[in-house]
């Protein structure tokens, strides 16, 4: 559930903190007071696109932070693993929006991305707005709603289908490219010349590193020789470091008989012999080198060819080897074109059958759940005073594999008795659409693990007993979920466990929105205002009390 929401410097909100509770909460206020701005702020936590216009005028940044108590499900845990975050029973989501439009996201104080929010937040919260209701008109969304209803049985199968479908599309694309690709004799000769050029310089990256080091030594051989000569002179001649150090050790050797000098004398002797060994190692290493002009030219030639290959085929020998393998495959494809195409066609048919089998399993599950979905929606519509309405899920098998399977889904509705079934947007009014969408939403949410549902003016276009019934539906949902509702209907507001009121105050310089939780007396006054408008009447107050006591 959404435990708390903090918003600062967002549009017309200066600073606001709301502590939410379980059950049903409503947010009311005059038109333009900023009710939907609160939902917009929550939408930012869900990964909605940011804009510099969200930052309150005169401020440098907007801060939005939501604290969520959650039940960790296997699905949520899997998403958290994917995002490399810990699946905890509390999530703190923070978003900062700068005045230049840039934004920063943090999940549990760990830097994250908008894409991460889009993946994570559907497991924590569902926001249903009027825009979401309009999406019901689009037939492409009908299958998504049915799949959400059948999620428990369909989800694993759908993930498997996505993998197999992608493999099918990859093989299909490769086959089409192979058929369209230039496979002339001239192209074959060109590829073979590239292959020959690469195979003439068949070295690994480690070998090239050793060649470069060897060439570096040869290029600097004269300088190294002079350096070694000077070094040997300084170390070994009569006045050099080693003879002088040896002489010094002899001078103090007699002191080793005294306990106080034993350890330092031994250290100087060890130093002398260690330095002698190091000097000999340096000289022996140098003596192993010799300048070979033939080898010098050979290395230059090898590295010249290697660098040319890198410019043409890749930055490393590994890249070049990968291109070499691609060339062999392309050459074999051209030389055995018909056989290779036949192999791809067979592979495509096998993958298509494998993918289609999974798609058909999904299709049968959808058909099974469609009947149950229809029955549940029919019951919901009766409760919402659409008892004559018929809701039908039309399912047809598609012969072509599609991203969601081989099923076409369409929601059809008949509102009045004797009326033919038709697409929803062709017959239903605004109020009827709101009720149908609420029926669909509450039915799907019954089987969903999301803890928090926000309804943003889903009750638009209804009034009277229908408004009361919509409120009762939300109240019923709130027995299992946290429900937050933006409403303008007093019948809905009266059913809430918690009532928040948004107020807007304007001065000469700015407009500021604030929100506060109403007590029982304040609820009566607020609902009375919703009933009577600007002019408060005793009758409105009496009606408000009736609604609250009902």
How far apart CA 535 and CA 127 sit, in angstroms, is: 33
Question: How confident is the model over 436-464, as a mean pLDDT?
Answer: 81
Judge whether residue 396 has pLDDT over 90.
yes
First to last CA, the chain: 27
Share of the chain above pLDDT 70, in %: 96
Model pLDDT, residue 162 = 93
Residue pair 45/121 in contact by the 8 Å Cβ criterion? yes
Model pLDDT, residue 131 = 66
Residue 275 binned pLDDT confidence (cut-offs 50, 70, 90): very high
Query: Which tens digit of pLDDT belongs to each residue from 129-142?
Result: 766 666 667 788 89
**Mean residue pLDDT across the chain:** 87
How far apart CA 523 and CA 518 sit, in angstroms, is: 6
| Neighbour tally for 444: CB within 10 Å | 21
Judge whether residue 424 has pLDDT over 80.
no
Alpha carbon of 251 to those of 67, 245, 268: distances in Å? 79, 10, 11
Residue 462 binned pLDDT confidence (cut-offs 50, 70, 90): confident
Question: How confident is the model over 360-365, as a mean pLDDT?
Answer: 96
Lowest mean pLDDT among 201-215, 431-445, 474-488: 431-445
Q: Is the dihedral of CA 214, 218, 220, 225 positive or negative?
A: positive
Q: pTM score, two decimals? A: 0.65
Model pLDDT, residue 440 = 87
Model pLDDT, residue 182 = 67
Query: Which tens digit of pLDDT belongs to each residue from 491-523?
Result: 999 999 999 998 888 776 777 788 889 999 999
**Sequence-distant (≥ 6) Cβ neighbours of residue 273 within 8 angstroms:** none
Residue pair 50/61 in contact by the 8 Å Cβ criterion? no
How far apart CA 317 and CA 310 sit, in angstroms, is: 7
Judge whether residue 31 has pLDDT over 80.
no
As given in the structure block, the two tokens for residue 160 are: 């498997």
Strand order in the sheet with 110-112: 110-112, 103-107, 90-98, 61-69, 2-10, 13-19, 511-517, 498-506, 24-29, 482-486, 452-456, 125-128
3-state helix/strand/coil string of 159-173? HHHHHHHHHHHHHHH
Judge whether residue 114 has pLDDT over 70.
yes
Question: How confident is the model over 363-383, as a mean pLDDT?
Answer: 93
> Taking CA 244 as the corner, what is the angle to CA 239 and CA 248, rounded to the nearest 5 degrees?
155
On the CB side of 281, how many CA atoms lie within 13 Å of its CA? 6
Question: How confident is the model over 393-411, as a mean pLDDT?
Answer: 93
How far apart CA 401 and CA 226 sit, in angstroms, is: 76
Which among 251, 282, 285, 257 has a CA at the least distance from the CA of 269? 251
Judge whether residue 427 has pLDDT over 70.
no
Question: How confident is the model over 423-437, as a mean pLDDT?
Answer: 74
Model pLDDT, residue 188 = 82
DSSP secondary structure, 344-397, as one string: HHHHHHHHHHHHHHHHHHHHHHHHHHHHHHHHHHHHHHHHTT-TT-EEEEEEEE
Token pair 């369209």 in the structure block, residue: 180
Model pLDDT, residue 94 = 95
Question: How confident is the model over 528-541, as a mean pLDDT?
Answer: 82
Model pLDDT, residue 349 = 95
Which among 496, 489, 478 has a CA at the least distance from the CA of 435? 489
The residues that bridge with 96 in the sheet, in sequence order, are: 63, 104
Residue pair 50/518 in contact by the 8 Å Cβ criterion? no
Model pLDDT, residue 107 = 93
Helices and strands: H and E segment counts in the chain: 20, 15
* Contacts of 466-469 spanning 24+ positions with Cβ under 8 A: 466/384, 466/385, 466/431, 466/435, 467/491, 467/492, 468/492, 468/495, 469/383, 469/384, 469/385
446 backbone dihedrals φ, ψ, rounded to 5°: -60, -30
Residue 425 binned pLDDT confidence (cut-offs 50, 70, 90): low
As given in the structure block, the two tokens for residue 52 are: 């510099």
Residue pair 538/522 in contact by the 8 Å Cβ criterion? no
Judge whether residue 216 has pLDDT over 70.
yes
How far apart CA 52 and CA 55 sit, in angstroms, is: 6
Question: How confident is the model over 31-57, as a mean pLDDT?
Answer: 87
DSSP secondary structure, 255-303, as one string: GGGSHHHHHHHHHHHHHHHHHHHHHHHHHHHHHT----HHHHHHHHHHH
Residue pair 373/436 in contact by the 8 Å Cβ criterion? no
Highest average pLDDT, of 57-61, 368-372, 385-389, comes from 368-372
Judge whether residue 535 has pLDDT over 80.
no
Share of the chain above pLDDT 90, in %: 36
Query: Which tens digit of pLDDT belongs to each residue from 167-206?
Result: 999 999 989 988 887 677 788 888 899 999 998 888 888 9
Counted residue by residue, the chain has a size of 550
Lowest mean pLDDT among 46-55, 61-70, 156-165, 460-469: 460-469
**Sequence-distant (≥ 6) Cβ neighbours of residue 526 within 8 angstroms:** 28, 493, 499, 501, 518
Model pLDDT, residue 508 = 66
Which among 410, 497, 422, 486 has a CA at the least distance from the CA of 454? 486
Residue 466 binned pLDDT confidence (cut-offs 50, 70, 90): confident
Q: At what angle do helices 142-149 and 337-383 cross, to 10 degrees?
A: 70
Helical (H) or strand (E) element with 333: helix 317-335
Question: How confident is the model over 422-442, as a mean pLDDT?
Answer: 77
How far apart CA 135 and CA 141 sit, in angstroms, is: 7
Model pLDDT, residue 164 = 96
């Amino acid at each position: 559930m959404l435990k708390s929401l903090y918003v600062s410097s967002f549009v017309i909100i200066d600073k606001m903190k709301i502590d939410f509770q379980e059950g049903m909460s409503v947010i009311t206020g005059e038109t333009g007071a900023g009710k939907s701005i609160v939902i917009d702020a929550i939408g930012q936590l869900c990964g909605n696109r940011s804009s510099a216009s969200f930052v309150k005028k005169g401020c440098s940044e907007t801060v939005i932070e939501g604290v969520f108590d959650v039940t960790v499900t296997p699905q949520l845990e899997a998403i958290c693993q994917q995002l490399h975050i810990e699946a905890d029973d509390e999530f703190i989501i923070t978003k900062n929006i700068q005045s230049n439009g840039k934004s920063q996201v943090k999940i549990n104080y760990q830097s994250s991305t908008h894409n991460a929010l889009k993946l994570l937040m559907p497991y924590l919260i569902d926001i249903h707005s009027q825009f979401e209701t309009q999406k019901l008109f689009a037939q492409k969304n009908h299958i998504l709603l049915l799949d959400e209803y059948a999620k428990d049985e369909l989800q694993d199968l759908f993930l498997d289908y996505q993998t197999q479908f992608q493999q099918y599309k990859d093989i299909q694309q490769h086959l089409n490219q192979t058929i369209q690709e230039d496979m002339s004799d001239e192209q074959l000769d060109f590829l073979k010349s590239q292959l020959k050029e690469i195979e003439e310089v068949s070295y690994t990256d480690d070998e090239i590193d050793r060649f470069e080091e060897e060439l570096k030594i040869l290029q600097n051989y004269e300088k190294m020789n002079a350096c070694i000569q000077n070094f040997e002179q300084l170390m070994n001649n009569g006045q050099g470091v080693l003879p002088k150090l040896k002489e010094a050790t002899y001078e103090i050797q007699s002191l080793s008989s005294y306990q106080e000098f034993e350890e330092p004398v031994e250290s100087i002797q060890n130093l002398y012999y260690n330095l002698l060994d190091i000097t000999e190692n340096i000289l022996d290493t140098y003596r192993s080198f010799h300048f070979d002009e033939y080898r010098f030219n050979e290395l230059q030639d090898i590295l010249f060819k290697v660098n040319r290959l890198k410019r043409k085929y890749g930055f490393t020998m590994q890249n070049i080897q990968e291109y070499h393998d691609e060339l062999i495959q392309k050459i074999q494809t051209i030389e055995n074109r018909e056989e290779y195409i036949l192999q791809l066609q067979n592979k495509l048919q096998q993958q298509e059958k494998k993918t289609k089998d999974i798609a058909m399993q999904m299709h049968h599950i959808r058909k099974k759940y469609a009947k149950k979905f229809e029955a549940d929606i029919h019951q919901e519509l009766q409760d919402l005073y659409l008892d004559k309405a018929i809701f039908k899920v039309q399912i047809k098998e598609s012969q072509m594999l599609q991203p969601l399977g081989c099923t076409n889904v369409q929601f059809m509705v008949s509102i009045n008795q004797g009326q033919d079934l038709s697409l929803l947007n062709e017959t239903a009014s605004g109020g009827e659409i709101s009720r149908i969408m609420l029926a669909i939403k509450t039915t799907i949410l019954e089987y969903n693990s999301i803890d928090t549902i926000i309804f943003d003016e889903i009750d638009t276009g209804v009034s009277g007993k229908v408004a009361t019934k919509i409120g009762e539906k939300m109240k019923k949902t709130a027995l299992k979920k946290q429900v937050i509702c933006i409403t303008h209907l007093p019948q809905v507001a009266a059913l809430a466990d918690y009532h928040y009121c948004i107020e807007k105050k304007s001065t000469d310089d700015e407009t500021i929105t604030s929100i506060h939780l109403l007590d029982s007396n304040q609820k009566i006054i607020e609902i009375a205002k919703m009933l009577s408008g600007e002019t408060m009447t005793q009758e409105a107050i009496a009606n408000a009390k009736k609604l609250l006591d009902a």
